[in-house]
Amino acid sequence: MALDFDTLRMQDLPRSEAFDRLKEGTGWYDPAVLQALKIVFVPEQKFQLSSLSLSELQPHMVLADPILDTMGNLLLAKGQDPSEWIVTRLKQMGGARSVKQPIRVILPVSSSEEEVVPSLRPQPVMTKI
């Protein structure tokens, strides 16, 4: 089973999808061993899609959609997790090349409380002058 799991992971399947494929093979694997594999290798992680203003964007929030300027030019691609420098630069843009809003991001959710993980809640960014 471990070799099958590794083979699926090497095909770039997320852990949860690789586990689901193993589970579909009814009768192939011992259910107790499958459950142990899930506990060890497939953490329960939920995500929430949020729409934010540019002022709420924080470094390392994963972009659900590309960030475009108001003229439609691509500034950051979908799936990126912008660095602090990039977030600061986006916030400094103005005039004809301002950033199109809202910005959609993917935030992890705490599985126990079903709320956004506190470290990734939008908070004001402090910049040095």
Q: Is the overall model pTM greater than 0.75, yes or no?
A: no
> So where are the chain's domains?
2-41, 46-120
Token pair listed for 125: 């960014």
Q: Over the stretch 56-99, which tens digit does the pLDDT of each residue have?
A: 999 989 999 999 999 999 999 999 999 999 999 999 986 667 89
- Check if the beta carbon of residue 104 is closer than 8 Å to that of residue 63: yes
Q: Using the structure block, give the residue that is written with the tokens 């997790």.
A: 81
| Mean pLDDT, the chain, whole residue set | 81
